[in-house]
Amino acid sequence: MRLAQRMTAGAVLMVAAMAANAIAREEPESLKKAEGYRGIWYFNQPSNDEYRYKYSGGFATYPQQHLPIALYAEEVDTTFFVFGGRPAEENRLLIMVGAYDHASGTVPKPTILLDKKTTDAHDNPVLSLDDEGHLWVFSNAHGTGRPAFVHRSVRPFDIDAFELVSETNFSYGQPWFLGKDKGFLFLHTRYQGGRRILHWMTSPDGREWSEPQRLAAMAKGHYQVSWKHGKTVGTAFNYHPEPVGLNARTNLYYVQTDDAGTTWTTVDGSPVELPLIDRDHPALVHDYEAEGLLVYLKDLQFDADGHPILLYLTTLGYESGPDNGPRTWQTARWTGSDWEIRPVTTSDHNYDFGSLYVEADGTWRLIAPTDPGPQPFGTGGEIVMWTSHDQGANWNRAKTLTSESAYNHTYVRRPLNAHADFYGLWADGSAWEPSPSSLYFTDRDGSHVWRLPEVIEGDRARPEVVR
């Protein structure tokens, strides 16, 4: 297979040693199917107290820096999605690809694209779709300890066979296909000298790539979330100050590009020089460091005017438990002249994650685990749907989507071009100890919650209604 990436030696190494030690994978003609939809369980940083971990749980759709992980293709009336799966007998990360056929209301057995031979959900994949209907799966690495991979579906709108395009290295990938004329803009992170540095690169076809360029490199680095509106791609990011780093993440920044990275600007159109290295850069939306608050990014959306809306959570500290409350969900909306910051609600863990939807009639909708779950003060909880009809000034609790659950629900993800019948995808799992993990989805109105089948007897099955 052709590995046609043009990278610097320090950026992406495709050497014989890496190839010799590469993760075992099947050829396109013989990709195996899982018997059903099971999610990976993962933990990070034991806390040696009653809350067990900094974060943990069913992390098939983790983390928020991986996006999109699902997309709706109108041409075939199907929502495609990728997730961190596992075999039935072992908690081991398998990169899986699934699809929901809206006409029949069924799913096939998911395709096993890669065995990552780790339990680390940071290696979970992201998904893109080109103008010819080919699915592109970018399987991440957590730092430089394992390779990352790029695969392309052999046939349009098909999950049965994929070709390996490249074996490389990137973390927290965010691929945006901007049309045949612009190709791909790939936002991602590179671990360099213990720092998490934001980068971007472009490709006309997913095979030949530009050199990776630094986007932001303040202090010990950043996390980011991005989204696109037409040809505009916006990214919101925090920063990790010296000397603590990621557990002191704070501040809120925003930049955007409308020409696939040729130029970058602040929200008001002022050009920026890359990389951003000044903590007090004009891209700063709000100085939360001065207020002693940490910032956990959640989502980014655009309104009908193309103005960005940032969703994030602020908290007093990184540790789990009640001492660092309140953990406040907030939105920052660009009005055209300034940033309007408003609270939404609160929840009990920094890594509670949900998605923001901005709909054609002006409704803002949040689907997130904002209620405490069966493992209180653990990652996730019970899923609630919130709505606002006045651009976030007031929020209404529209529906409770899960209750009396066995495990906390985590990481509700919004598909690109989300169809009303498959509006949010997430997983569950115990926040306190290893557990099974199922995957769920809901519709736009929250009228139903479905669980994807863990075992499919034939070729296809209908998801189970659990609410």
pLDDT for the residue 22: 38
**CA distance linking residue 151 with residue 322, whole number of Å:** 43
Q: Within a 10 A sphere around the Cβ of 299, how many other Cβ atoms?
A: 25
pTM value is 0.94
DSSP 8-state code for residue 263:
S
pLDDT for the residue 287: 98
pLDDT for the residue 245: 92
**Percent of the chain as helix, strand, coil, to the nearest 5:** 5, 45, 50
> 190 has which bridge partners?
197
Phi-psi category of 47—alpha, beta or left, where left has phi over 0 and alpha has psi -120 to 50? alpha
Residue identified by tokens 């070729």 is: 459
Q: If we measure between CA atoms, which residue out of 425, 64, 60 comes closest to residue 238?
A: 64
> 368 has which bridge partners?
384
Gap between the terminal Cα atoms of the chain:
46
pLDDT for the residue 309: 99
Contact 383, 407 (CB under 8 A): no
As given in the structure block, the two tokens for residue 305 are: 């005017």
DSSP 8-state code for residue 286:
E
Q: According to the CATH classification, is domain 16-465 in 2.60.120.10?
A: no
pLDDT tens for the 467 residues of the chain, in order: 233 333 333 343 333 333 333 333 444 445 899 999 999 999 999 999 999 999 999 999 999 999 999 999 999 999 999 999 999 999 999 999 999 999 999 999 999 999 999 999 999 999 999 999 999 999 999 999 999 999 999 999 999 999 999 999 999 999 999 999 999 999 999 999 999 999 999 999 999 999 999 999 999 999 999 999 999 999 999 999 999 999 999 999 999 999 999 999 999 999 999 999 999 999 999 999 999 999 999 999 999 999 999 999 999 999 999 999 999 999 999 999 999 999 999 999 999 999 999 999 999 999 999 999 999 999 999 999 999 999 999 999 999 999 999 999 999 999 999 999 999 999 999 999 999 999 999 999 999 999 999 999 999 999 999 99
pLDDT for the residue 251: 98
